[in-house]
Amino acid sequence: MAGKRTAKAAVTNEKTLNYATPALEKGLDVLELLAHQPAGLTKSQMARELNRTVSEIFRMLLCLERRGYIAQLAEDRYSLTLKLFKLVQEHPPTERLIVDALPVMHRLAHETLQSCHMGVLEGSRVAILAQVNAPSNLGFYVKLGSTVDLMEAASGYVILAHQSEEQRERTLAEWSRETGKKPPRDLAVHLSRIQKTGYEKRASYLVKGVIDISYPIFDERGSAVGALTIPYIQYNGTATPVTQVIDSLKKATAEITAALGGEAPGQKTAKGR
């Protein structure tokens, strides 16, 4: 049986290679490279980073610029436009998620006097689809459309903890492939703790003085499709207690989940009884 599976895998890999599309691969390589270069890159810099010649990527740049995915800046530098982000927002499931979440997020920000943002997994990173500022002169917020390594975001761990085992394995395999790293040794313990509490509350992985509080948003299968996070800041003087913020955030994510027709795993089990 093992020999048959190996032979079958070899045939599948051979077919995959036969269907390779070099031009598409080059174009996607350019987009993925520029996604991590806010200041843009020149043709020669891209060619060097991608281990290709300038002539190899020249046509790709012309096509991507003509279609509006990239734009030429000063000094012959190219940068991504917002077209990819707009396409993601116009994708029906994403659009509905944003439409259902924003009113709830605005109310949450006013109740807690804290900013909040909604993230979803995009490969091995968390992408910020929606963001609402705190109704105050001071506050901390995450840039709309930005991405962060899922292992450096509370929302990343919350989504991982509430995925099916199969989904989690795919996500971690993608993360390892893109980063070249192995998952943290205590990841299973960390995710188990989040599953038991239902949310994540810990010091920010990236910013000192900020406590990230994050709850999952579920689909109809009881799997996390995203997470709503409050980067909690303790102001001098009057401030909303963290316990109240946690309670408000829990109610907000439950409301968004219900609007999507989703159910938390515990609710599903209760209904099954």
* Residue-wise pLDDT tens digits, 78-103: 988 877 766 665 655 677 788 889 99
Pairing between strand 224-232 and 116-122? antiparallel
Same fold, 22-81 and 93-260: no
Residue 222 pLDDT exceeds 60:
yes
Pairing between strand 70-72 and 77-80? antiparallel
Residue 150 pLDDT exceeds 80:
yes
Residues 93-260, CATH architecture: 2-Layer Sandwich (3.30)
Range picked from 63-77, 187-201, 233-247 for highest mean pLDDT: 187-201
Residues 229, 117 contacting (CB under 8 angstroms): yes
The domain limits of the chain are 22-81, 93-260
Pairing between strand 200-203 and 211-218? antiparallel
Helices (H), 162-264: 165-179, 187-197, 242-259
Distances, alpha carbon 264 to alpha carbons 63, 144, 168, 195, 220, in Å: 44, 26, 17, 11, 8
Q: How confident is the model at residue 107 (pLDDT cuts 50, 70, 90)?
A: very high
167 against 16, higher pLDDT? 167
| pTM of the complete model | 0.68
Residues 48, 41 contacting (CB under 8 angstroms): no
Residues 22-81, CATH architecture: Orthogonal Bundle (1.10)
The H or E element containing residue 110 is: helix 92-112
Encode 91-108 in three state secondary structure: CHHHHHHHHHHHHHHHHH
3 against 239, higher pLDDT? 239
The pLDDT, as a whole number, for residue 5 is 41
Instruction: Note the pLDDT tens digit of each residue in 13-68.
Output: 444 444 557 788 888 889 888 887 878 899 999 999 999 988 888 888 989 988 88
Distances, alpha carbon 176 to alpha carbons 74, 75, 179, 206, 273, in Å: 36, 35, 5, 20, 39
67 against 213, higher pLDDT? 213
Instruction: Note the pLDDT tens digit of each residue in 223-247.
Output: 899 999 999 998 776 678 999 999 9
Residue 12 pLDDT exceeds 50:
no
Encode 224-248 in three state secondary structure: EEEEEEEEECCCCCCCCCHHHHHHH
